[in-house]
Each structure stands twice: as structure tokens, then as C-alpha cells.
Structure 1
Amino acid sequence: MSYRKTLLPLALGAALLGTGCSDKNAAPETPQNTQSLINSASAKPEQFINQPLVTHRYTADPAAHVFNDRVYIYPSHDIDSGITSDGEGDKFDMKDYHVFSMAKNSLAQPNAEVTDHGAVLKLEDIPWASRQLWAPDAAEKNGQFFLYFPAKDKDGIFRLGVARSNSPSGPFAAEPTPMDGSFSIDPAVFKDDDGSHYLYFGGIWGGQLQRWASGSYEEEDKYPASNQPALSPKVARLSDDMLQFAEAPRDVQILDNTGNPLLGSDSNRRFFEGAWLHKYNGKYYFSYSTGDTHYIAYATGDNPYGPFTHQGIILMPVLGWTTHHSIVQVDGKWFLFYHDSQISGGKTYLRNMKVTELIHNDDGSIRTLDAYLD
């Protein structure tokens, strides 16, 4: 989860949907009802395809997994901290993580019971971190559970941390230092069929990925020219103990259908933040947020390192500015976890997580979802 230095008005963000691609590969136009809801931030509950999973606290960036025959969700915990400046995501000043869980057979049920396991990791318990506990993810190995998270260190640089627990519901104890060689935001863990774990990460603008273009951190933002390849998310295989990278992070290339890297100007398709990987029928699906154009897009490849070829849109724009998701298989069905800003009336930094079924078509493509009813 990241945020632009100067927040675009929602209407302007939606207006950008038509830019950056040739007509052949352009993203579909935003449906008129979606456009209206984005602009007005006045949607009524009956206008959404799904209702918030929890309403007693703000939640965002939900990372869902099946552990111990139950669905566990690891989201960000939005709070209204009183910060008024947008800055580099200053309003997103999260200070702890909560874990939620629900029965597998309740995912498709309205008003499903969701258990809040409470605060499982707090900012003050992370020795190296100074602020902004943004979007996390979790993994399991040999009965131990690992929570991966970004936070700014004492110098204001985003790093990735890891915390451990003997239970998927926590509490988690953070390692005293961040992961060696880690940077930026939005860690997402994928476990392949051979038991290897891969960590995907990165986010531009507030996520600082653009400050690592040279290989080391620089205070000045450096973005590629419009005719140059877009900034790439990163991937690294995790060490056996799950606490470090087992290799230097690599670029995750996202290509167009001619085999060329997506360009920096291709804002409908290029990576912004929120990476996720799932595997379906032997194919790897890399999905991500396009950020300022408000899509969840996806690309496919033949191995966890990529390259991945852009295929289309999973989720159209939601109420609010950011979009961040996860995809999980539960008892033979696939589900998309995402967030919007329904319960806060459209405040972009006070969000709520949702879930809906995700459909793979017979040809392997993913059916595009609209977050609003017709």
C-alpha cells in the first residue's frame, strides 16, 4: 500500500483510465455507474457486490491464506491518526497488525462470522521501525508462522521485517533487524509445489521503489522516461529458515503481448504496488495494482521469476484511491480479497476489506470483476 505525493482527485484518477495504452491493448472504460460512485463517494450499501467483512475497525490490503483448515487474513490496520498532509502516504500511519479468521465454508455467505484475534504485533515492539506498518503477508513452514511487513526505519527508509509465531493467529515476535538487503513495501509470499518460498515486493511513489533504481537508496525520486521500461517489482527466494533472502532480489519483468516490457507511460498496465502470485493449472499468475489508474491487473508466466505477459484486468476501480488484494483457493474455489472505502464514505485512508469469488475461464483467463452492481 502506497500513496502519491500529491493526491489526485478521484475524478481525475478515473479520467486517467484512457491513457497510456494503444487502442488495441487499452484497458476497458470504467462503467458509468462505477465512474459516478468514484466521483461522488456516496455509494449506498446495496450498490456494492459485497459488504465489508468487519466494520468494528478499519482494515485494508488483506492477505488471505488457509492455515489449519481455516481462512486467516492478514490486513493493514487503518487508523485516523489526525495527520492532514498527504505527503508520501503520511495519512497511512498504521501502528499495529490484527489477524482475522473465518470458517472456510463461510466465504460466500453474507454476514459471515469473522474472528478478530486482536493486535498481534505493535510498532513499539519492533526495535528497528519508526512508523507506518503498511501491507503485510504471512507464510507457514514446519508448523511455524511468519509475518512479513514493511516499515520505515529510523532514517525514514522503508525496509521489510519478519516476525514469528507458533500460531497463525499470533502474537508475533519481530526479529531485531530488518531483512538484509530489503527495501520498499508490500511483501507477498508464494509457496511453490516443491516447497520453495518466494517473496515479492515493491511499490512506487510512497513505496520508494523509484529511489532504488541505482541499486542503492537515493533521496531523489528517479522514474523512467515515458518510452523506457517501467519500474519492476522484485522477487527473491527465501532462505530455509524463512528469515532472509536466499539470493539477491531480481526484477519481475511484465511484458506486453509482443514480448516487450511495459513502458513507464503505460499506467493502465504497468506495476504500481501490491504484488501477488498464485498458480492455476500449472501456470503462474502475477497480479498487482496499477495504482493511479485503480485496476488490479494480471500477467502470466511459466515460472515464479517470470517474465510475465500482461493478460487483463481482474478488478475494476473501487470506492477509494488505493487497491490491494490477495487470491486464495478454498475447497476447490478461488476467492479475491480486496478493500474499498465503503464504511468511511470514501476516505481513502480508512478502508475495509471484502471478499468475492474469482472465476478462471476455460481458457485460463480471469473473469473481470466490477465492485458495483449494475
Structure 2
Amino acid sequence: MTDRKAPSRAALLTAAAVVAACSGTPAQGQEAPSPPGGNPIITDRFTADPAPLVHDGRVYLYVGHDEAGPDQMFNITEWLVYSSDDMRNWEEHGPVMKPTDFHWAIRDAWASEVEEKDGKFYLYTTVEHDETDPGKAIGVAVSDSPTGPFVDARGSALVSNSMTKQAAHSWDDIDPTVFQDDDGTAWLYWGNQILYYAKLEDNMIELDGPITAIGIAPYEEGPWIHKHEDTYYLTYAAIDRSVSEDEQIHYATAPSVTGPWTPQGMLTGSGENSFTIHPGTVEFEGQWYLFYHDAGLTVDGVEGGLGRRAVRAEYLYHEPDGSLRPVEQTDEGLSLPPAD
């Protein structure tokens, strides 16, 4: 437990709005490389908000490139992708898109996720909309390849701030995640402080029905959905202040993708030196994994922090009773074999 008062996301973003949204210098070069599969996964730059995708025998990992300088809260100007066929050695594929590739967006490559359907790859992501509908918005881009490049699939936001009125701030439309159910329907979940969901059209770039808000507590941001056997799992960032003033990863379960969701408590605690944490789960070759970030990495003498995070991974286990085994954050990560 910490005895300090961590700033709320609202306070952080209010402060960040005062800071000039200039581009920082990407930190390059590694100080202490991890062993294959060890944590953090990427050590030559700061990365955040991991989103894994399995395709054609490889895991593709989409991340934001954290570039915040000493006077910035967040400065994320591009999305990067890495891939692996063994979950231990990761190949860099470079940037796949930047926020201003959406002509209606002005900055902020916040959390994203990529989904494949019918040979196309759809990137759902968070950006800052221009003055025509100010606030955070969700865009969708498309590519013929999991490594991009991605281009705007609509020419307009999929979800904008004017479409959601429940929150008292302008950054509730963040952290999109898409889950495709067994019947082929796709569902978009997202939100900060308020959790929203909506069904997607078959074309994956339009909403098919109303936006619904879910009351689930505690909930902060970063939703992610997966299904195991007959149970749906929603992992997300939450704050249990009896544990820490920093975000932890919690989870809930449901009998269907639309709920009702039953909170099951904390999956893993706060990340080292980090107010935020962001889950992504994936099954690859019969084993489940949890991705997240902390801010324990130092790159070229620059210490990690709120806007300088590092992506990590651990094994994830489903118990016979349908619960998830609590996850211990380790330096060894996936360099060790999974438990029996």
C-alpha cells in the first residue's frame, strides 16, 4: 500500500492540457536487455497499452510509443507493432500509423486494438478530435496486413465526444477494444470512468445499434474481453484504494458478451512506478497470456514514469471454477516455462 496521494486521471489530463503538445525525442538504446521472454518485452524505447492479436501462427503486439519529456504528462505520436512466433523473441515492424493520419484528428496516439475479419485488419484507437467535435474520439483504420500501414476506414470518427453525454469530462471515449463472438457479431467496448459498449455492423466500421453504458465498480479504463469455455471475461484498469492509489487490473465475468458482468476482484496489482496499467489477454498455442505495462524501465539514463512506460507479459491461468488465478508481476515473465 502506498501512503502518497496519486493524481486522478482528470487531474493528470487537466495538467497535461496546459503543457504544449510538442513531440518528444524518442528514447533509443537499451541499458539492461531482458532475457528472451523476460520483462519488460521491449527495452530500447518506452511503450504502453499493449494489444495482442494472433494471426497465422504469430502474435502481433500493438503498442503506443511513449515519448513524454520531463515537462509532459503524455506524448504518444505513433503506434508500433512487434510480432513473435514463440512469445519470447519479438521482431520490430516499425510504426503502423500516427494520429494525424485521421484528417479529423490532431494528436494523441492513445490505446488501440487490431481485429481481423475477412482478410482485413481493423485498428480501433483513441485520438484527440479537432475543433469540430473536441475531446477524445475513437477512430477505425484498415489494412491488408497486420503490420500496416493502416489508413482511415471511414473519414470520420466512429465514436466522438458529442455521442456520449454521461461523463463530466471530455476523455470518456478512450481505450477501444473489439470482441468477435462465436456467431460472428462484433462488439465494441470502451470508456474512462464509464464503461460503454455497442454492436458493430458486419463491415466493422459502423455502429449497429445504440451505445449502452454499464455500471461496474470499481472501473477506471482499459477494458479487454476474452472468452474461455462458456464464460466471458472482462479485464480492466480499476482503483481499489484499500490496495493502492494507482490503477490495478481487475476482472469481471458474464454468461454473454453483453453481461450481466459480475466483478471478481483484482487480477494483479499496480505496475511499478506507474499510475496507469492496461490489460490485454490472448491465447496462443493453447496457453493464455496477460500483457500489461508498468514504468520500471530506464532507457539511456531516462527513468520511466507516467508517460514513459514499458510493456510486460505473464502467463494467465483459468481455474476449474471459472475464476482467473491471480497474476504475479515478475522480471522472468515468459522466459520460464508455464506452470503445470
Could you tell me the TM-score, scaled by structure 2's length? 0.78
Partner of 1:188: 177
Which of 182, 198, 201 is 1:239 aligned to? 201
- Separation in structure 1 between the aligned mates of residue 42 and residue 238 of structure 2, nearest angstrom: 26
Contact 2:178 2:189 in 1 (8 A): yes
* Equivalent residue runs for 1:124-163 within 5 Å: 124-155=100-131, 156-163=134-141
Is 1:177 the equivalent of 2:156?
Answer: yes
Contact 1:253 1:306 in 2 (8 A): no
- Separation in structure 1 between the aligned mates of residue 254 and residue 225 of structure 2, nearest angstrom: 10
- Separation in structure 2 between the aligned mates of residue 125 and residue 304 of structure 1, nearest angstrom: 32
Partner of 1:225: none
Partner of 1:203: 192
**Cα shift at 1:372:** 4.5
| 1:95 partner SS | strand
Contact 1:162 1:174 in 2 (8 A): yes
Which of 255, 273, 290 is 1:336 aligned to? 290
| 2:100 partner SS | helix
**Cα shift at 1:54:** 1.2
**Cα shift at 1:45:** 9.3
Partner of 1:279: 227
**Cα shift at 1:341:** 1.1
**Cα shift at 1:5:** 3.7
* Equivalent residue runs for 1:355-366 within 5 Å: 355-366=313-324
Q: Which has the higher strand share?
A: 2
- Separation in structure 1 between the aligned mates of residue 110 and residue 80 of structure 2, nearest angstrom: 12
**Cα shift at 1:93:** 2.2
Is 1:290 the equivalent of 2:238?
Answer: yes
How many matched pairs? 282
Counterpart AA for 2:278: H
Q: Which has the higher helix share?
A: 1
- Separation in structure 2 between the aligned mates of residue 343 and residue 304 of structure 1, nearest angstrom: 36
* Equivalent residue runs for 1:66-85 within 5 Å: 66-80=54-68, 82=69, 84=71
Partner of 1:55: 43
Is 1:123 the equivalent of 2:128?
Answer: no
**Cα shift at 1:370:** 2.4
Which of 201, 210, 214 is 1:248 aligned to? 210
**Cα shift at 1:66:** 0.4
What is the RMSD of the two structures over their aligned residues, measured on CA atoms?
Answer: 2.3
**Cα shift at 1:55:** 1.4
Distance 1:172 1:56, change over 3 A: same
Which of 302, 306, 310 is 1:348 aligned to? 306
**Cα shift at 1:132:** 1.0
Which of 267, 271, 277 is 1:318 aligned to? 271
1:87-116 deviation line (CA, Å, top 9, x unaligned): xxxx2121111111111xx22xxxx32111
Give the share of equivalent positions with the same residue, in percent.
35
**Cα shift at 1:3:** 6.3
- Separation in structure 1 between the aligned mates of residue 127 and residue 284 of structure 2, nearest angstrom: 30
Contact 1:50 1:371 in 2 (8 A): no
Partner of 1:214: none
Counterpart AA for 1:62: P
**Cα shift at 1:83:** 6.4
- Separation in structure 2 between the aligned mates of residue 94 and residue 202 of structure 1, nearest angstrom: 19
**Gapped runs of 5+ residues in structure 1?**
8-43, 86-90, 205-231, 255-261, 263-269
- Separation in structure 2 between the aligned mates of residue 271 and residue 116 of structure 1, nearest angstrom: 33
Contact 2:226 2:232 in 1 (8 A): yes
- Separation in structure 2 between the aligned mates of residue 342 and residue 290 of structure 1, nearest angstrom: 20
- Separation in structure 1 between the aligned mates of residue 44 and residue 246 of structure 2, nearest angstrom: 29
Counterpart AA for 2:49: D
| 1:186 partner SS | coil
